[in-house]
Structure 1
Amino acid sequence: MSLSTGELAVTRHLLVHGPATRGDLSDLLRVSPASMSRLARSLVEDGIVAENAEPAPGVGRPRQILSVVPGARHVVGCKLTATRAYGVVCDMLGDVKATAEAALLAPRSDGSVPVDGTVRVLAQLVNRLGRKVPSVDGIGVTLGGVVTDRAVVREGTFLGWRDVDLTIPLRHRTGLPVVVSNDVTALAREQLWFGAGRTHATFGVITVGAGLGFGVVREGVVVEHLIDNGHLLAHAPVDGRGPECSLGHPGCVAAYLNRDDIERRGATGPARVEDAARALGHLAATFAGALQSTRIVLAGEDITEIAESPVMAATVADRLRPGPHETQRCVLDITVAPLTFSDWARGGAVTSIQAVLGAA
């Protein structure tokens, strides 16, 4: 059952920032002490929050500390690729308790992966992972493409899907609430509660792997639908004399960072990494400027080698270099998060945690 607005605010703060006293929460969330007491009592009675005496009290009466009970809820997160489903089961803190994976059915003659077969595979993963925890409270599925209403896959890029509602058949098979999300959007949600969002209300996520992905968080709210699914950023020009991407743009970001474009022209060696690092540096700086945020998260299977190149650091530094009469200085906080498919699945799990608790 979803939490009330007040209960959700308390639970979210404890999840994101850790244990706190009723008094501290009352001040931080701007609610009266009496209201805070009612909210805390309700959450403790529901088993979501525990209240215990401070471990090492000072002089006087020990303070009572509220903290989330990690095992109060468990959810399964699944990441779909073109050929496999990767699953994790997580507790309230997003900690992974077990992982599993399974092959999807081969595509049909039209190139689409069978939906009914995929639902069956997902349900089997949920059953396997559910044996590792007392119970499962929800499911979050992520994939590359465009998803609306956290349910309908309008464009399943790697699965060949169009207008597929994945929630209804999966809910029917499992009896559990289901949310479906673009994989990078889910990663942004995970970062909002357990990563960059702890210190920055507005930030951007860039993923580099099978394709380029973008996530946006503005003032603590995840942007569910980008106007172009990141197309404008992915095809921003870097070098007009550079190689063409698959759409014919000379020297755009995708030409240097999209795995398919790189493999198509057979680019290898240090020069490829340097070109990719330069493109990524320009992309990160441009994205930060557009969002007016100092925090950018770089993630994905192909990110480490590129982000560690000194060429990227030099490119960002050059973009940040002020003019001779400018007094304002900007420093970007760029973090790198290499991802396995289980990490991608964790994004789905965190999305499910938020949905189960009633977060938007």
Structure 2
Amino acid sequence: MNDETQTRTALLGSSSDAATRVFTTILTRSPISRIDVSRLTGLSQAAVTKAVTPLVAAGLVNDSLEATPTGLPGRPVNPVAVVPDAVVALGVKVNVDELVGVATDLTTRIISSDRLPLTSHDPVAVADAIVELYGRLHEGLGGLKSRLACIGVAVSGDVDSETGVVRDSAQMGWRGVDLGASLRERLSPSIVVVNDVSALTIGEHWFGVGLGTSSFAIVTIGRGIGSGLHLNGEVVEGAYGVAGEIGHLPLTSRDRICACGRRGCVEAVAASSAIVAAVSAAHDSPVSLEEAVDLARAGDTAAVQAFGEAGAVIGAAIASLVNMVGPELVIIGGEGVANFDLFEETLRRTYAEHVFGSADRCRIVVRPHTFEDWARGAAATAIRSLVV
């Protein structure tokens, strides 16, 4: 990081609440007029101008764009816009079998991406792999290397984003792993370790379908069943870093044991590993997820039942979530949506049976996410840590 980038990140970190609101609005809605910034933030135009001036001086915001007509009497409006490559971020998604990394600009446009297989879940080995992936992504930045300011690392499970400690990750088999400290000893940019679904929610909040929506939830389906919450304009992280863990709601039989060690969790029926286990047991032979999908599409009774049961319990979990917090929108994402047709009917039917009153106005939409999208969310979290 050069002196110019340090100055920019220091400015963002020391900004007043008003300046932070102004920059965040410009960042997520560029190009935008000062009048609209004022309207969206509730600040006076004078306060907006005061906040924009140092951002322009630091090279974070451009106020020299061509004026645009408003269709109203008076002078055209001069919009302002974030300078995308003023700061660069890296995002890393930690999966059970690989790392997926992206380098992005301030708007989380992906500049480059890379993947690295994970051969061990040992925390030291994973940290080594993250450092290796960092080196590959950093090298690929070329002339933008000096603008790299922050890194976001997204991990499944209970993660303390304040300290970087992964308190509990069933997928990785970790308890009390201080991944943040391990990485800070070896990498110079600012580092944030965050729950993966929270990272995805932050990315959707700032730059995805959640932009302009006051309350929404993301439910992810795949290796795990996760949820991220954005309520009343803020991403909910919980007092202890845990919020929206619908995968561990006790909504199924106690004889179903979850990977977390508890009984009756949603994931014990609906995670991809649980579906594979059910189909394998029914056929008295191990099958892969792809084979389970093929069997279900061919009408195999056991496979159809396994996916149907998963859909039913996910539908009940989403209804519980909607009943409790009342979002406008639920986004269903994750790698499992590739097979959404196998459980959509039972999911929507069970959801409709359990959602209460006017909460049923909540829309449910499906949005496929690649693992690069998850890594992009990690980068968005790192950028957010500079700003908020």
Task: Give the TM interval when normalised to the shorter protein.
Answer: 0.7 to 0.9
- One-letter amino acid of the structure 2 residue matched with residue 73 of structure 1: V
Q: Is the 8 A contact 1:273 1:305 kept in 2?
A: no
Q: Is the 8 A contact 2:226 2:246 kept in 1?
A: no
- One-letter amino acid of the structure 2 residue matched with residue 309 of structure 1: E
Structure 2: gaps (5+ residues): 1-9, 281-291, 297-303
Aligned to 1:40: 52
Aligned to 2:189: 176
Structure 1: gaps (5+ residues): 323-327
- One-letter amino acid of the structure 2 residue matched with residue 139 of structure 1: I
Following TM superposition, by how much is the alpha carbon of 1:231 offset from its aligned partner in structure 2, in angstroms?
5.7
Q: Distance in 2 between matches of 1:305 and 1:132?
A: 41
Aligned to 2:152: 140
| Match 2:309 to one of 268, 272, 275 | 275
Q: Distance in 2 between matches of 1:118 and 1:281?
A: 37
Summarize the Cα distance change of 1:116–1:41 in structure 2 as closer, same or farther, 3 Å threshold: closer
Q: Is the 8 A contact 1:185 1:215 kept in 2?
A: yes
| Match 1:127 to one of 121, 138, 149 | 138
Q: Distance in 1 between matches of 2:152 and 2:69?
A: 39
Q: Distance in 1 between matches of 2:121 and 2:356?
A: 50
Following TM superposition, by how much is the alpha carbon of 1:354 offset from its aligned partner in structure 2, in angstroms?
0.7
C-alpha offsets along residues 192-237 of structure 1, whole Å, 9 cap, x if unaligned? 2123432332322221111121222232222224786656653432
Correspondence 1:8-47 to 2 at 5 A: 8-47=20-59
SS in 2 for 1:36: helix
Summarize the Cα distance change of 1:23–1:13 in structure 2 as closer, same or farther, 3 Å threshold: same
| Match 1:349 to one of 355, 368, 379 | 379
- One-letter amino acid of the structure 1 residue matched with residue 67 of structure 2: E
C-alpha offsets along residues 265-311 of structure 1, whole Å, 9 cap, x if unaligned? 22641333333222222222221111122321211111242367333
Following TM superposition, by how much is the alpha carbon of 1:113 offset from its aligned partner in structure 2, in angstroms?
5.7
Q: Distance in 2 between matches of 1:95 and 1:152?
A: 28
Q: Distance in 2 between matches of 1:182 and 1:249?
A: 22
SS in 2 for 1:174: coil
Summarize the Cα distance change of 1:93–1:78 in structure 2 as closer, same or farther, 3 Å threshold: same
Aligned to 1:305: 339
Q: Distance in 2 between matches of 1:189 and 1:210?
A: 21
SS in 2 for 1:173: coil
Aligned to 2:7: none
Aligned to 1:205: 218
Please identify, of 21-30 and 180-189, the stretch whose mean Cα deviation from structure 2 is larger: 21-30
Following TM superposition, by how much is the alpha carbon of 1:182 offset from its aligned partner in structure 2, in angstroms?
1.0
Q: Distance in 2 between matches of 1:237 and 1:104?
A: 33
SS in 2 for 1:293: coil
Q: Is the 8 A contact 1:85 1:121 kept in 2?
A: no
Q: Distance in 1 between matches of 2:104 and 2:359?
A: 41
RMSD: 2.9
Summarize the Cα distance change of 1:186–1:129 in structure 2 as closer, same or farther, 3 Å threshold: farther
Q: Distance in 1 between matches of 2:143 and 2:270?
A: 39
Matched, 1:220 2:257: no
Summarize the Cα distance change of 1:162–1:289 in structure 2 as closer, same or farther, 3 Å threshold: same
Please identify, of 150-159 and 85-94, the stretch whose mean Cα deviation from structure 2 is larger: 150-159
C-alpha offsets along residues 38-64 of structure 1, whole Å, 9 cap, x if unaligned? 112111111211122334565642211
Scaled by the length of structure 2, the TM-score of the pair is: 0.79
Summarize the Cα distance change of 1:217–1:24 in structure 2 as closer, same or farther, 3 Å threshold: closer
Matched, 1:114 2:125: yes
Scaled by the length of structure 1, the TM-score of the pair is: 0.84
Q: Is the 8 A contact 1:105 1:113 kept in 2?
A: no
SS in 1 for 2:360: coil
Q: Distance in 2 between matches of 1:183 and 1:342?
A: 12
Q: How many residues align?
A: 347
